[in-house]
Each structure stands twice: as C-alpha cells, then as structure tokens.
C-alpha cells in the first residue's frame, strides 16, 4: 500500500506540472505567472507527503550481537503525511518556513535474541533471569507511530527562471510521538515496544518551485534524522531479549512532498 502511495505521488507531480502548464519550459511568447507572489511578507499553503521511515539501530555488543551476527533487524515502511505551510520572506534569496504536519507510520523490529539465554546466570549488565522460549510473537514488534512534526527551516532559493525556481532548505524539527507508550507500565515482556514522546531531529530538503496561474506547486525531497535516542528501556526485571539488545534507536525518514501555496 505504501509503495502505491509513493508511486501515485510521483506520478501526480509529473501530471500536474504537465497538465497545468504545458508551456513551462518553452521560452518563446510566454508570460511569467504570479510575478509578485514571492514579494509577499507572509504566504501560506498546505502539503502532502509520501514517506519512508526506518530506525537506525546501534546494537549492544553483548546482547545485540552474536559474534559478527546482528540479532536485531528493522523493516522500513512506506506511509503518508499532511500538514500546513507558513512562510515569511526574509530577503530576495532567503525565507523562513514552518511546516507543522502529521506523519502516520508503522515499522517492524525483529529480535533473534534467543542466544541471550547464555546470560541467564547474570552478569554485571543484567540480573539473573529465567530463560523463556521466544515465540514468533515475542520476536516481532510492530511499532505504530503518529508524529506531530514541526520543522522550522531556512530556505535559500536561486533566481527565478520564467515559471520555475530551485531551492534548498535545512533546519530543526520537534517531533511529538502520540503513540509512544513511554509512560506505560508494560514493556516488551508483555509485547509493548516503548519509545520517547518528545524528540528532536534535523532536516534537509531540495526541490523546484513551479508557478501557475493561481498557485505555486513545489515538489521536493526531504531527509529527516532524529538526534536523540527514542527507545525506552524495558523494566529491570525483564530478560535481555529486547531493549537490552539495542544501545540506541533513532528514526530516519525520506519524504517526497507536494506543496501548494
């Protein structure tokens, strides 16, 4: 489903650019559109996004590795998001943007950590525990997340070439995970993978702005990378099959956005 959404978004960007402005790259007898649009101090709009989210894992050398074998794997997911755009003009080449949005996603984390039974007697890193046979349900954690994503970006753009203009942007994000379960008493021993609620990330983006008769369309590509560790450790009495195997888990996301202003 996610891959279909991504393909539809890419096709939509191409089709919109083609259907609404067939003269976009013809220079003869063509008038510029929305000539004064970028001179406004403030402008507004909305965006749609097709996303690919994954975790970047750093594994614990004892509980997360068996020799050279990684005992924890993740599977990325395709998802979608939407939000609003607020832009303030700074000068001819720089704008300040804030783009609050919602990102809906689901990821999978696989734990092949049965070999940690060897630490059942206890070590300096864990208390003694009673080994358990890990079922398929124990090995798979489906992590659902809904991020309230609020990036603040500085945009730099080149000179306008007729009805198009390239740009690049970078900035910081505050991301609130509404499905973090960070305060839940249960943990992975009960099938619950807990993550932090409040997070910080940085983003970088490139794209091209296209000007039409009534609006500006901006297809772009953005990368977002979490700064803080999102994983909440299991309770002290939980065996080291799950969170103990992970030193840190940070979200990384790649997005294709369509912006309408």
- If pLDDT is split at 50, 70 and 90, which confidence band does 91 have? very high
What per-residue confidence (pLDDT) applies to 223?
A: 97
Give CA–CA dist 59/229, Å, rounded. Answer: 12
Give the residue from 234, 241, 244 showing the smallest Cα distance to 131: 241
Query: What domains appear along the chain, each with residue ranges and CATH number?
Result: 2-260 (2.40.160.20)
DSSP letter at 60 equals: -
Give CA–CA dist 220/256, Å, rounded. Answer: 6
Give CA–CA dist 112/110, Å, rounded. Answer: 6
What per-residue confidence (pLDDT) applies to 183?
A: 92
What per-residue confidence (pLDDT) applies to 160?
A: 81
Express each pLDDT in 141-156 by its tens digit.
999 999 999 999 999 9
C-beta separation of 145 from 106 below 8 A: yes
Express each pLDDT in 150-190 by its tens digit.
999 999 998 888 888 999 999 999 999 999 999 999 999 99
pLDDT of 30 > 60? The answer is: no
Express each pLDDT in 44-81 by its tens digit.
999 999 999 999 999 999 999 998 899 999 998 899 99
More confident residue, 3 or 114: 114
> How much is the pTM?
0.83
- Percent of the chain residues past pLDDT 90, beyond the cut: 75
Neighbouring-strand partners of residue 56: 250
């Amino acid at each position: 489903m996610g891959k279909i959404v991504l393909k539809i978004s890419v096709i939509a960007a191409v089709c919109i650019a083609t259907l609404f402005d067939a003269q976009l790259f013809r220079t003869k007898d063509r008038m510029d559109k929305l000539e004064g649009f970028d001179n406004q101090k403030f402008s507004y709009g909305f965006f749609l996004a097709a996303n690919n989210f994954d975790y970047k894992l750093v594994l614990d050398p004892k509980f997360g590795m068996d020799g050279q074998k990684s005992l924890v794997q993740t599977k990325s997911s395709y998802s979608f998001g939407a939000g609003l755009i607020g832009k303030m003009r700074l000068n001819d080449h720089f704008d300040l943007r804030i783009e609050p949005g919602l990102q809906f996603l689901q990821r999978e984390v696989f734990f092949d950590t049965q070999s940690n039974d060897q630490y059942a007697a206890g070590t300096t890193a864990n208390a003694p525990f009673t080994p358990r046979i890990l079922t398929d349900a124990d090995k798979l954690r489906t992590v659902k997340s809904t991020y309230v994503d609020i990036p603040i970006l500085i945009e730099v753009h080149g000179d306008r070439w007729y009805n198009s203009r390239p740009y690049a942007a970078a900035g910081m994000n505050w991301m609130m995970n509404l499905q973090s379960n960070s305060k839940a008493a249960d943990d992975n021993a009960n099938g619950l993978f807990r993550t932090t609620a409040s997070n910080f990330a940085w983003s970088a983006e490139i794209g091209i702005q296209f000007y039409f008769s009534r609006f500006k369309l901006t297809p772009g590509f953005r990368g977002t990378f979490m700064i803080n560790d999102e994983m909440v450790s299991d309770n002290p009495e939980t065996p080291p099959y799950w969170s103990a195997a992970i030193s840190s888990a940070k979200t990384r996301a790649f997005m294709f956005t369509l912006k309408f202003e």
